[in-house]
Structure 1
Amino acid sequence: MKRIAILICAGATVLSLAAPAAADPEPGRHDRPEFGRATLTGFASLPAQTYVPGSEPSGSLLGTDPVNGLTPPFPGQPVQGFSGIVRRHDGTYEVLSDNGYGNKANSSDFLLRVHRVKPDFKAKSVQVLGGFNLTDPRGLVPFALTRQDRTLTGADFDVESIVRTQDGTHWIGDEFGPFLLHFDQKGRLMEAPIELPGVKAPENPYLNGGQPNLGSSKGFEGMARSVDGRKLYPLLEGTVSGDPAGTLRLHEFDLRKRAYTERRWTYKLDDPSHAIGDAIAVDADRLLIIERDNLQGEAAKVKRLYLADMRDKDRDGALDKTLVADLLDIADPRGLGGAPGTFRFPFQTIEDVAILDDRTLAVLDDNNFPFSNGRTPGKPDDNEFITIRLTHGLKADPRVYR
């Protein structure tokens, strides 16, 4: 969470996405008009004050001053902070809560959890069907954990991205290491945390007084699974020291060898102050990536979905970016999200995207409970779940959404 937070066979088919308008005067620019204005096709919302039934209190380290009208500590574990999503193909989704309340120091009583949710777009509501906590019962984490029962908390890891592999297990990207974490279907850790060679954040438990080369909680914010299921593509949220400002490293991890390969790419932010929110594979060469500014509400200016091509056709050393949807300018002719007209998704952190079909995407916010108030000033944001229809098909590998 950041307070105020599957790859790819297009070839020449990318060209067929171009709108039949005038030729692009600057080929290779990421803002060329291949895609027009997306349309809102579904809206559902989960109230901010939704807690896991029968769960432990949380937020005891936030003090006692009201935050957006709510006074901590809270009566349970909030169902919040959705920072990763997995589509289950039965109308339900698994969503990952991040480290809790924003940082290592204040999140030791927040239990890391994957929730199972089901949006009802007719009722405009989201049902929480259950979920599982993340645990380490086998003692695979070699450093000290917060709890003796080895239930993982927001002081142990900052989990921000999730994929499900073909065997039904989950790989989760962490920002504190950054680490890759492998869990079974019940949320039990299956392997020791896997470090990213040569990169350490300030929270890394192996720093041992050394100098970090990545910003605080700037590790694996997004992670895609290759469409053949053999690779992971974790994407850092922050720039590694010595790299050009605003450039993010995209790595390749071989699931069969359990090791990083020598392949690496660069994603260049539109502005160094921006951040990425999620990544998902479209085919063997392209990803969908959320890029955002750190603002919310009326102040928000950049909440975008880009197609990012790893082939680097313009040879500038970075993934080629094509704007797919502006999440602050979504057509809503039926008034699904309010009054008919323009729908805005003005949250500070938008961290979930799933491909439903070749033209339809699901997008969710991370509401940073109780801190973010991008929808209504002074009121904690709900967890909103929207679907949007693109003006053109992605020409995605069918395995992505089948």
Structure 2
Amino acid sequence: MKRTMIGLGAVVLALSLSAPALADQGNGAAEATSARGGHDGHGHGHGGDGDFGRATLTGFASLPALTFVPGSEPSGSLLGTAPVNGVTPPFSGQPVQGFSGVARRDDGTFDVLSDNGYGNKANSSDFLLRVQRVRPDFRTGGVRVVGGVNLSDPDRRVPFALTRPDRKLTGADFDVESMVRASDGTLWLGDEFGPFLLHFSATGKLLETPIALPGVQAPENPYLGGGTPNLGSSKGFEGMARSVDGKKLYPLMEGTVAGDPAGALRVSEFDVRHREYTGRRWVYQLEDPAHAIGDMIAVDANRFLVIERDGGQGDTALVKRLYLADLRDRDRDGKVDKTLVADLLDIANPKRLGGFDTTFRFPFQTIEDVVILDDSTLGVLNDNNFPFSSGRTAGKPDDNEFITIRLSHRLGADPRVLR
């Protein structure tokens, strides 16, 4: 899967990794208007100049797939006993895997969110939901796990039944896929089973009752009560941004709500202070209804970075892209304007970082993390779906890779994002 890095990127990376944490990744969208459906392909970009050019790899680091939380409980007991990509379940501990959200800290480390475990509600009841803390080293090419917190509900905020009597949360309780840090250090997570918004303390304790999205229910929703879901299984909040002023959250669906146009994904607005949805909504239109999004973060008050991808891996991976999505909808087609920022399957690698060729590919089935390091440098991480994904080397479970790329143009990001 992952290789060892053989060089360091630009000096700016070292500077950016020692800069303050980007906890305020979000978007106020103060000027945006409600969306009505549709999409314009590659819309308005940096000053309306169209798509960005080719991005350049400036850093590569990886965490081996077979990395487990020290002293943790066994897991994977519901996966059977047949080898998967050469790895035989069950496992002696909790794997450090499935990175589905990232938040930068001010000491060169990153909080990364492990998702619901082994892919679905039925097989993940012994996977403990956890926020891992990692430190990438782009000089050596390694990633160290330096801590983390399990997610739990000791104060009984969840009104429906949980898997464990000790109220530690598992992948059978929630499918957490997106994460932002508030200015007070608490964490907001987006779930796909409800979909719900979940608010946790910095130590992983659930602080309030899960907040449902009005009018939308996935098949796993505990309140469905035999009703008909209007969202696909685990197609809830895959991405979520926080406004730069901290007043709003902007969760983005992974799936299309029944009745909406094919490939149209809802972006909703949530008022953090009043703990309610404002009713404002926009549409992110996929390039193909078969695609999915992986993450969403804010650039300024109107623009987001969104990962869009197909379901392929390795040689079958054809679409792994970063778009700049502008909520202002300047062409008035009812959909956010999209500008291609980076093709993750065609990244220039002149220094052959990581031992790869001069063209670097990030060919993973699920790429679910992006973070702004400076105005022209992004960090991107994959979700390795341990032990199932094998996009780097066929028959071998993917590592968790952490790359940094330099864009061909500056983003012109809000200064609060760069702090």
TM-score interval (norm. to shorter): over 0.9
Select which of 78, 84, 90 maps to 1:61: 78
Match of 1:347 in 2: 364
Match of 2:324 in 1: 307
Does the Cα contact within 8 Å between 2:177 and 2:237 map onto a contact in 1? yes
Match of 1:83 in 2: 100
Match of 1:7 in 2: 27
Secondary structure at the residue paired with 1:323?
strand
Does the Cα contact within 8 Å between 1:10 and 1:395 map onto a contact in 2? no
Match of 1:117 in 2: 134
Deviation of 1:34 (Å):
3.4
Does the Cα contact within 8 Å between 1:8 and 1:282 map onto a contact in 2? no
CA distance 1:380–1:61, shift in 2 (3 Å):
same
For CA contacts below 8 A with separation 6 or more, give which structure has more relative contact order.
2
Amino acid at match of 2:382: D
Select which of 310, 320, 328 maps to 1:293: 310
In the alignment, the residues of structure 2 paired with residue 400 and residue 75 of structure 1 have an alpha-carbon distance, to the nearest angstrom, of 40
Deviation of 1:7 (Å):
1.4
Match of 2:220 in 1: 203
- Counterparts of 1:326-345 in structure 2, within 5 Å, are 326-345=343-362
Does the Cα contact within 8 Å between 1:8 and 1:397 map onto a contact in 2? no
Question: Alpha-carbon deviations, 1:319-357, whole Å to 9, x = none?
Answer: 000000000000000011323410000000000000000
Select which of 148, 151, 154 maps to 1:131: 148
- Counterparts of 1:360-375 in structure 2, within 5 Å, are 360-375=377-392
Q: How many residues align?
A: 383
Select which of 194, 199, 216 maps to 2:233: 216
Amino acid at match of 1:149: D
In the alignment, the residues of structure 2 paired with residue 89 and residue 130 of structure 1 have an alpha-carbon distance, to the nearest angstrom, of 15
In the alignment, the residues of structure 1 paired with residue 250 and residue 330 of structure 2 have an alpha-carbon distance, to the nearest angstrom, of 20
CA distance 1:234–1:272, shift in 2 (3 Å):
same
Question: Alpha-carbon deviations, 1:48-75, whole Å to 9, x = none?
Answer: 0000000001000000110000110011
Deviation of 1:401 (Å):
2.0
Does the Cα contact within 8 Å between 1:277 and 1:350 map onto a contact in 2? yes
- Counterparts of 1:14-29 in structure 2, within 5 Å, are 28=43
CA distance 1:49–1:142, shift in 2 (3 Å):
same
Does the Cα contact within 8 Å between 1:42 and 1:336 map onto a contact in 2? yes
In the alignment, the residues of structure 2 paired with residue 339 and residue 73 of structure 1 have an alpha-carbon distance, to the nearest angstrom, of 33
Superposed CA RMSD:
1.5
Does the Cα contact within 8 Å between 1:133 and 1:151 map onto a contact in 2? yes
Match of 1:263 in 2: 280
Match of 1:397 in 2: 414
CA distance 1:51–1:233, shift in 2 (3 Å):
same
Match of 2:259 in 1: 242
Question: Which structure 2 segments of 5+ residues have no match?
Answer: 1-25, 32-40
Matched, 1:231 2:251: no
Matched, 1:158 2:156: no
Matched, 1:377 2:394: yes
Question: Which structure 1 segments of 5+ residues have no match?
Answer: 1-5, 12-25
In the alignment, the residues of structure 1 paired with residue 357 and residue 396 of structure 2 have an alpha-carbon distance, to the nearest angstrom, of 23
Match of 1:20 in 2: none
TM-score of the two chains, using structure 1 as the length reference: 0.93
